[in-house]
Structure 1
Amino acid sequence: MEYNPERWLGDDGAFRLVSPFRYTVFHAGPRMCLGKEMAYVQMKSIVASVLEEFVVDAVGKDASGGVPEHVLSVTLRMKGGLPVQVRRKGGGRNCKC
């Protein structure tokens, strides 16, 4: 996979909005989860703190050529998981998860 920030832009170059109903865990509309924004803040802070201390690399390729295949479920997950190698920044012990 390569870095491609243009994937979020439409043909006219403007930001393309995604339906709030696409990710069903928090739902959308008048009955959406009240803790949605807090959950997003927590997820972002956890990812930031992990990436501050570790380097995470995807390991190997699957049959789809390295593009993850998602499984339909209540929570978003990938078919067969996503094998990664985690390395502490600045050396130290490696972990294949």
Structure 2
Amino acid sequence: MPGLVRDFSAERLTLIAPREDSWAVVGPDGDVEEAGSRPVWDEVCEVYARWERAGRPEEYRLELACDGRQYITAGTGRDVLAWELPTPSGSINEGEGARG
């Protein structure tokens, strides 16, 4: 999930969206406590549902476009999971030196 980080030092699963000052904490019984403007847990549940619809793929493919962009894909057909990886700052695709 873009912009989410996990607090591995927390006793319970804790996901934080620092830019939106939002977070979700999952308790041992599956109860969820949330705060902030971003619906962190709803987003996680939607990604899980997409993974289920894609057939619960266990393998992912890294695909490289000729322009240097990178994509991750999993599954096949209408419910394929796919997303573009962010371009690291200072990479050749940014600003001067980029090639088409």
Note whether the superposition's TM-score is higher than 0.5. no
TM-score (norm: length of structure 1): 0.34
Which structure is richer in relative contact order (CA contacts within 8 A, separation 6 or more)? 1
Name the structure with the higher strand share: 2
Name the structure with the higher helix share: 1
